Structure 1
């Protein structure tokens, strides 16, 4: 934990985001971010950096919709809050999307206040599109309305940047990530090493480098839960003998190049 923050302070800052979204308070939501704040939503898409870009992000994806956060679990590690949740988004045509997510908030102090420096939204864009298509006419109408909003607020470059969210490590990346974690849960050091790239970063907990054997020792008995592939990352809800958390794995092909465990601090 940062010497200058408590978990309660950081969680209170993060919780102001769904509060502002619920009442459609654009100014309050944008004010949560640092002046050079960054939103990557979904992870892998082109980021929105700075106040003006974040305002346009709000106008495109938040303002026109009714959004409810169903938070299952929060983890605070250093100045990072990682949320395990499902987001219900009701679009103007009445279609509601249920999107499993992991939201990572990296916070920074600006003056006397905590602000969001970076927001990384891990969710699967193809899953959302699939829900829209499955919703029939209302889903098609919602997609038809979103397209001009996206172009109007983000421009062609922004629309193309958003579509980069379709590029993910996919099923192979998920198998690599979950295979590594399942091997660790079994106590299989060799199985873990078989998935890690040469020189892979292993931090468990995040910010604390550990060797492969020590990592396996710490997480033996780990259980794998919700798994999300976004961009080059796979995030996994995990349960270990010491509690719940979120594992963040960076994947290149079928190899894991970085593993960080966001678990509660002692």
Structure 2
């Protein structure tokens, strides 16, 4: 199977998810995942592992709502698909909120096709809550309804696990990422090395390991926006030359120290050093 055909098949498997969500077809949506799949939504909150847990996740967050995926860009590398998008959710009370998001799907071959082994939804729970409450009484009512639904479907532990999505690297992580990207854009190799340290794993583009100096050269003049801090990861929409994509910057568990940078791009780094 050609790489291009594989990429098309991976993307088709991922595109089946919003179709099933829009149709409120629970069986089809849950069936997109392998038996022991993990859903991190939002990333940093307690994960939902296995189809039973994913089914309960559907009951709480998808079944009562109308959800529209407004996709700006799809990126495929290896067996991973990354989507740069906004998601618009209309609650059962009529409250509508839109949040910026980066979705990462890791897929494996199963049953003669591709299925999702891991879904990581990078969005900020605090932003979602503020925007929901900002819609007025309908948003407040939606929040009041969500609490009991969480406990009923996920249990008290699951409800508390959802709140873990409020913790993470937050604004500090965003500032560190801004400094890293700023140093790279300026060709400041020393600054990039200082922020990455000796042990950070860097892939630019995804699947192609590079050292700090090469990252600085490849990413010279890069642009970025849409910084999202979810858990111990900051994601960003990026542009390097003619290529656009999404970068994921992972931090250590106990300090704002970068441990990995992975950049998914939609094209080659034309005009840059080949990695």
Q: Where on the TM-score scale, by shorter chain, does this alignment land: which range?
A: over 0.9
Q: Look up the match of 2:170.
A: 170
RMSD: 1.6
Q: Look up the match of 2:147.
A: 147
Figure out how many residues of one structure are paired with residues of the other and give that number. Answer: 266
* TM score, norm. by length of structure 1: 0.96
- Contact kept, 8 Å, 2:69 with 2:87, in 1: the verdict is yes
Alpha-carbon distance between aligned partners in 2 of 1:5 and 1:232, rounded to the nearest angstrom: 34
Alpha-carbon distance between aligned partners in 1 of 2:5 and 2:117, rounded to the nearest angstrom: 15
Q: Indicate yes or no: 2:39 matched with 1:39.
A: yes
- Contact kept, 8 Å, 1:77 with 1:265, in 2: the verdict is no
Question: Residues 189-234 of structure 1, C-alpha deviation per residue, up to 9 Å, x if partnerless?
Answer: 1111221234111111222221111111112111011110000000
Question: Residues 86-144 of structure 1, C-alpha deviation per residue, up to 9 Å, x if partnerless?
Answer: 00000011000111000000010003110000000000000011012212211110001
- Contact kept, 8 Å, 1:89 with 1:98, in 2: the verdict is yes
Alpha-carbon distance between aligned partners in 2 of 1:37 and 1:2, rounded to the nearest angstrom: 26
- Contact kept, 8 Å, 2:107 with 2:114, in 1: the verdict is yes
Q: Look up the match of 2:272.
A: none
Structure 1 residue 248, shift from structure 2 partner: 0.4
Q: Look up the match of 2:57.
A: 57
> Which shows bigger deviation, 45-54 or 3-12?
3-12
Q: Indicate yes or no: 2:266 matched with 1:264.
A: yes
Aligned positions of 1:108-257 closer than 5 A: 108-252=108-252, 253-257=255-259
Alpha-carbon distance between aligned partners in 2 of 1:4 and 1:225, rounded to the nearest angstrom: 29
Runs of 4+ in 1 over 6 A off after TM superposition: none
* TM score, norm. by length of structure 2: 0.93
Gaps of 5+ in 2: 269-275
Q: Look up the match of 2:273.
A: none
Question: Residues 61-86 of structure 1, C-alpha deviation per residue, up to 9 Å, x if partnerless?
Answer: 00100000000011111110000000
SS of the residue corresponding to residue 173 of structure 2 reads helix
- Contact kept, 8 Å, 2:185 with 2:223, in 1: the verdict is yes
Aligned positions of 1:19-34 closer than 5 A: 19-34=19-34
Structure 1 residue 18, shift from structure 2 partner: 0.4
C-alpha change, 1:35 and 1:5, in structure 2 (3 Å) is farther
Alpha-carbon distance between aligned partners in 2 of 1:147 and 1:197, rounded to the nearest angstrom: 42
